[in-house]
Each structure stands twice: as structure tokens, then as C-alpha cells.
Amino acid sequence: MAGPQIYLSLPKLGFIPDARPLPPPPVGDATLRAPFTIPSTIYHAVLRPEVPVAVASIYIVSVLVLNAINAQRKEKNNGKPKPWWIARQPWFDALVVAHNAGLIVYSGLTFLAMLRAAIQTWPGYNTDTGAAGLADAFCKMNGPRGFGDAAAYNTTLNIWEIKNSLLHLDYNGNPDPTDVGRLWNEGLAFWGWFFYVSKFYEIVDTLVIVAKGKRSPTLQTYHHSGAMLCMWAGIRYMSPPIWMFVFVNSFIHTLMYTYFTLSALNIRVPVALKRTLTSMQIVQLIWGSLYAGTHLFLQYDMPVSTSYTVTSFIKSAISSASSIASVATSTISEIIETPTPTGDMVALAKKLLLRAVGEEGIAERVTNKYGQALAPAIQAKIEEIQEQLVPHHETKWSTDLTKVDCLDTTGQAFAIYLNLLYLTPLTFLFLRFFIKAYTNRGKAGKPSDVAKKVIDASQEASRKTKDTIEDTGKRAEDEARALTDEEKRAQLRKDLQALKDGTLELSQKIGGNAKESAKQASQQVSETSQKVAEEGKKLAKEAEQKVAPAVEKAAEKGKELAKDAQAKAEPALEKAAEKGKELAKDAQGKAEPAVEKAVAQGKQLAGDAQQKAGELAKDVQAKAGEAQQKAGEVAKDAQAKAGEIVDDDKTYAEAAAEPAAGANKENQAPASQSEPVAKQESVLTATQPTRPGVVGEDKGAVPADDEDTDAMGKSGAIIDPEAAKAE
């Protein structure tokens, strides 16, 4: 069997994210993976979608307004940037240096923490899992280390689950925060969350630029606002590629803020280093886009422990029926085949014989050697066997290689789509900046060329101005010749002189028009700023309105899926219950013929026993007749001998006649044994009330229920009811 493989397929997950699951917050252990615990309320509150949307919207609108205000201030300051009050303070530069230095330390720590997390997650080179093991390590971010041991979210059941049946989740059904070997618990939960929050603080870079009276570039505005939303989506939905953004971007930021710190300290940085830093940022964007996009298409083989239920009631039912039949058959066989049965076997033989002769009352009181009644013992055994007819369900697991997607939730896919939409124009802006700043196409011309162009432009303007003034003077002189009014002529001369001196009303009018144009331009800028602010608010409101229905729709979709799952599960359970009842009924139907067969065999044996008892009674009756006949012969002999006795011994003759009569009654002893027979008769007469089955005054009497007796009688002699009745 081939080992696990990786595959590429078309994306299956949509763009609209589901609201679940919430990312589990980290548990601090005073190490680099999580220096301290972040309260879950704060952790989840900052990850609400309203937070990045509101901050980004306010940031964009504020930058547009401040850029417009700075443009007006620059125009009034003869085209030079006019710093704000705070930027003119002596401590402002020190504050900027501290800001950049703090971000250097933070970015460096984040880079080291994510490097450690990547090392802890790396499965190694010499493994049997190959590329599939590597994909599993960096696609599944929760749970313990191990191929196929990750905790993934089941969007159908809306629960966390682990495919390995030997591993378990936390007590609240979430991944255990103490598990190690996966990116989330190894540092991403802590440092990734703080990296997202740091995007709000990094807008201080823009405030520094604006405070100096400069314009914040479009590249920077777009970069900061987009980073807030993309980092939010990656951490909120625990999207696998987000760790790479934190890892690489923290390294780039460490270098970038080092450059900003040197610039704030007025230390000249070579152009080659700046060009290299910009190139690294562009490579980071391209690599991040490719790495993130791959997750949408990636699949791999993973060992999955699948549970299945084994129902053992069919086997139990068949074995139970066989047990009942075998117990009955073996019991009866042992009664027939065992020469000297003991215990329950003897008790069962007695019971069958007593029932065969119609003595049900005595039969019900037959007990085994432990003093237990036989019928309840057998009934208990039958009930015990029947309990096995209840269906018994057993859950078992089988582990097989199953093709799974790298992504589990729509939220993870949404974060990747959002990052791709953000990185594409950002890469274009960085490329444009690179071309303008570091290539000849974007550079200005040589100083000599610029000076020449400026001189040529000024000469052309001077020439055009002189021509205009000359034309105006000629037209004024022509009009003056046509005037006859001396006053008009004087006014015309005055205007002509004013025109030559540059003090004509026309110049004032031109100046007034310029002021009016400036005023209109200022109003237009103000209106544009207000319009941009209103448009930003409108966009923020529309974004909020779009996000809220999406969240509600996702919640409703989750409820519908849960309801559908329940609806699908209930018929299956009902069907299983009905199937169990049918199987139990079939088993009972198979068991009943076996029981009936055993009962029929018992009745047949009882009939055979009754027949044998009848034959035995006939034999006893025949022997009794023979004994009676012999007793008569003995009596005749005794009588003959008695007549021959001497007449003078009359007492002896009478004594000799009584034993003969007793012998005649008992059909046993001759006259020569008269004295022992008399003693035996007296013993039998004395024990007659205690012997069952003897004909007397209480013929057929049954001992009372409280008497300590059994079917054998206290004498221990076996009683033959059929022989007694025949006699």
C-alpha cells in the first residue's frame, strides 16, 4: 500500500464566513510561546468584526481630511510643508525615535517567537508521511503533535473533533490549550493576536508624517487599513497561512523600523539598503500571495479513525435459543444416562416422576441439594438467557487513509480570499513606488536640464507678457486719437501711464480674480474633504450593514444545518429500533420451537416413565398374589401341625395359631417364624401414621405444608404409589 500523498483540486469553500468557531485564547506559561494569559473576554472582544472595520474607516477618512488641510497650509506657506504645533516641540523627535525603537523590539520578539513555533511544528525530514505529513503539520493548527492527531472543526455538526480515538478535547469541547506541537498553541494564538492589535498602533507612522505638514502617501494609507482587516480575518478564523504573514512580516518590520530610527536620528542610510528593503517587501507580498492561495487547492491523505457500531443481538439471540434447547436436552439426557444422578438431576427426576403419577402438589415442593426449589431456578436461568436477547451495540474504530482538505471552514477560506484581494493592488503600489524611486524612468532630469527648462519657460513668459502689454498700449493709443473730449484724453493718458507702470485697474481686477479663484479653490477643497468624510462614513455604514446580515445569515444557516442533521438522525434511530425489534422477534420465534420441543420431549419421557411405573406395579401385584398364595399354604400346614399337638398343652397351641394368622395377613413368614413376624407387625403398626401412602384411617392423607418431609418420607423407603393403589 502506497504512503500518504498530496493532491491539488478546485476550491470547495465559499467566500462568506461562518461565525463559528471562536478561536481559543492562549494560556500563559511564562515562556516565549505565551508569556501571559489573555482574558477570553478581551481576546474575543477585539476580534469582533466591527472593531477593524470602524478603525480602518476612521483612519482612511482622517488621512484624506488631514492631507487636504496640509495642502492648504502648504499653499499658504509659499509651497513649503508647514508643521503642526506638536512637530515643532523639542521632544517630538525623541518621541518618534522611541516609537520606532519600540516597534523594532516588538517585531524582533514576534519573529523569534514564530520561528520557534515553526521549528516546534516541523515534522522532520526522515518520516514515512512525506509531503502529506508536512501539509498536515501546517494546515491543522490545533491539537497535539502527530500525523492525523490534529483537532479540526466539523462544520456539519458544529463541533471540534479529533480523528484519533485515543485523543480527547478539553472539558468544554474545545481544543486543549495545553497541547503542544501545533502552530496555534506554540505561539500563534498569543503573538498572532498581538500582531493584529499592533496594526492599530502602527497608524502612528501616518500621524508623524501628517504632523510634519506632509502628505501621507496613498501606499501607506492603503497598506495600514488593509493590514488591519487581513490580520483580523486570519486570526479570527484561524486560517493556516496567517502564521507565515506574522513570521515574514515581523522580520521585514524589524528591518524597516530600524531604517526609520536611523532616519529619525539624522543618520544617512545608503540608497542600496533602501532599495534592498523595498525589494524584500515586494518579494514578501508575492510569496505570501502564492503561499496563501495554495491552501485553497491543497488536499492530502490522512489516517482517520472511523467509528462504526456492531450490533450483537443476532448472535446472542441464536446462541440463547441454542442454550435453552441444549440445557433442556442435556438435562434430560443426563437423567436417563447417569446411573446415580445427584443434585438438580435427582430433583428433576423426582419432579418428573411425581408429575407423571399426578402428584403435582408433592412435585412442586421438590428442591435440589441446596434447598432451592427447582422450578424457580430453571425459570431464573431462562430469564437470564432471555436478557441476552436485548440488542447490544458496541462502537469500534478502524483507521484508514482518507483524503481531506487543508481548510476546514469557510472562515479560513474567507481570510485567504481577503488577503489575496488586498495583496494584489498592494504589490502594484509597491512596484510603482520602486520604479519611481529607484529607476531612471521615475527619476527627474539632470540639474542643468532643469535649469535650462526653467530659463526657457521664464523667457517665454516674459516675451508673451511684453507682447500683451504692447498690444494693449497700441489699442489704447488708437482709441485716444479718436477721442475729442479733452477729459477723456486726459483719462486715457492716465490709464496708459498706469498700464505702463503696472498700476492699472486691470491689474487690480486680475488680482481680485486671483483671490476669488483662490477662495473658490479653498472652498472646493473644503467641500471635497467634507464629501470624502461623508463618503467614508457612508462606506463604513454600508460595510457594517453588509457584515451584519452575513453574520445573521451564517447563524441561520448553522441552525438549519443542525436541524437537518437532527432530522436525518431521528429516522435512522427509529429504523434501527424497528430493525432491532424485528430481529428480537425473529430470535424469539426461533427460540419458542426449541422450548416446545424440549417440553414435548419431557412429556414423552414422563409418559415413558409412567408406562414403566405401571409395568412395575403389575409386577408387584403379581408378586403379592404369589406371596398370598404361599401364605395360605403355610397357614394350612400350620393348622395341620396344630391338630397333632398334645391336647394337654392348649396354651401353646393358641400361641402357635396367632403367628400363623399374622403370617396370613402379611403374606410373608411361615408358622416357624411366628415370633419375629409378630414383632415386625407391631413395628409396622406403630409407624403407620408416619408412613405416606399406607392404607389406614387417613388413607391418602398428605402431610401438612409445615411438616419437614419430602417425597421419600422420613423412613427413607421409596414409595410406589401405583403399587399401593393396585394393592
Question: Based on the domain organization, do 421 and 287 belong to the same domain?
Answer: yes
Output the pLDDT for position 341: 45
Answer for the pair 412, 142: CB distance below 8 angstroms, yes or no. no
Residues 638-660, mean pLDDT to the nearest whole number? 48
| Distances in whole angstroms, Cα of residue 562 to Cα of each of 15, 173, 452, 568 | 21, 17, 77, 10
Output the pLDDT for position 81: 93
Q: Cα–Cα distance between 284 and 265 in angstroms, integer?
A: 27
Question: Based on the domain organization, do 268 and 347 belong to the same domain?
Answer: no
Question: Based on the domain organization, do 412 and 378 belong to the same domain?
Answer: no
Answer for the pair 420, 167: CB distance below 8 angstroms, yes or no. no
Confidence category of residue 257, pLDDT binned at 50, 70, 90: very high
Asked whether residue 557 is domain-assigned, the answer is no
Asked whether residue 545 is domain-assigned, the answer is no
Q: Output the nine-digit C-alpha cell for 306.
A: 472511523
Output the pLDDT for position 669: 41
Question: Based on the domain organization, do 369 and 235 belong to the same domain?
Answer: no
Output the pLDDT for position 339: 43
> What's the N-to-C CA distance of the chain in angstroms?
88
What is the DSSP secondary-structure string of 146-202? STT--EEEETTTTEEEESSTT----TTSSPPTT--SSTIIIIIIIIIHHHHHHHHHT
Question: Based on the domain organization, do 353 and 229 belong to the same domain?
Answer: no
Asked whether residue 336 is domain-assigned, the answer is no
Question: Based on the domain organization, do 69 and 186 belong to the same domain?
Answer: yes
Q: Give yes or no for residue 221 having a pLDDT over 90.
A: yes
**Residue with the three cell numbers 408358622:** 671
Burial class (CB in 10 A: 0-12, 13-18, 19+), 615: exposed
Residues 425-449, mean pLDDT to the nearest whole number? 73
Asked whether residue 542 is domain-assigned, the answer is no
Asked whether residue 165 is domain-assigned, the answer is yes
pLDDT, tens only, 551-600 = 566 556 656 665 665 666 566 557 755 765 676 576 566 656 654 775 56
Peptide bond preceding 21 in cis form (omega within 30 of 0): yes
Confidence category of residue 665, pLDDT binned at 50, 70, 90: very low
Output the pLDDT for position 332: 45
Asked whether residue 501 is domain-assigned, the answer is no
Question: Based on the domain organization, do 160 and 292 belong to the same domain?
Answer: yes
- Domain limits at 608? 587-631
Domain boundary among 569, 599, 631: 631
Question: Which residue type does 29 have?
Answer: D
Residues 411-416, mean pLDDT to the nearest whole number? 96
What is the DSSP secondary-structure string of 326-359? HHHHHHHHHHHH-SS--THHHHHHHHHHHHHTT-
Q: To the nearest whole percent, how much of the chain has pLDDT over 70?
A: 48
Q: Give yes or no for residue 251 having a pLDDT over 80.
A: yes
Q: Give yes or no for residue 723 having a pLDDT over 60.
A: no
Q: Give yes or no for residue 377 having a pLDDT over 60.
A: no
Question: Based on the domain organization, do 102 and 208 belong to the same domain?
Answer: yes
Domain boundary among 569, 597, 631: 631
Dihedral pair phi/psi, residue 264, rounded to 5°: -65, -25
Provide the residue count of the chain. 727
Q: Give yes or no for residue 92 having a pLDDT over 70.
A: yes
Output the pLDDT for position 701: 39
Question: Based on the domain organization, do 148 and 169 belong to the same domain?
Answer: yes
Asked whether residue 513 is domain-assigned, the answer is no
**Domain total in the chain:** 3
Asked whether residue 475 is domain-assigned, the answer is no
Nearest to 65 by CA among 540, 537, 541: 537
Residues 6+ apart with CB under 8 A from 308: 395, 396, 397, 398
Angle between helices 242-264 and 271-297 (to 10 degrees): 170
Dihedral pair phi/psi, residue 482, rounded to 5°: -80, -15
pLDDT, tens only, 26-57 = 999 899 999 999 999 999 999 999 999 999 99
Q: Give yes or no for residue 212 having a pLDDT over 80.
A: yes
Q: Give yes or no for residue 285 having a pLDDT over 80.
A: yes
What is the DSSP secondary-structure string of 246-301? HHHHHHHHHHHHHHHHHHHTT----HHHHHHHHHHHHHHHHHHHHHHHHHHHEEEE
pTM across the whole model: 0.53
Output the pLDDT for position 645: 45
Confidence category of residue 436, pLDDT binned at 50, 70, 90: confident
Residues 369-373, mean pLDDT to the nearest whole number? 58
Residues 497-513, mean pLDDT to the nearest whole number? 54
Q: Give yes or no for residue 20 having a pLDDT over 50.
A: yes
Question: Based on the domain organization, do 160 and 222 belong to the same domain?
Answer: yes
Output the pLDDT for position 179: 92
More reliable by pLDDT, 671 or 394: 394
Residues 217-237, mean pLDDT to the nearest whole number? 95
Residues 101-126, mean pLDDT to the nearest whole number? 93
Question: Based on the domain organization, do 261 and 378 belong to the same domain?
Answer: no
Question: Based on the domain organization, do 223 and 281 belong to the same domain?
Answer: yes
Burial class (CB in 10 A: 0-12, 13-18, 19+), 347: buried
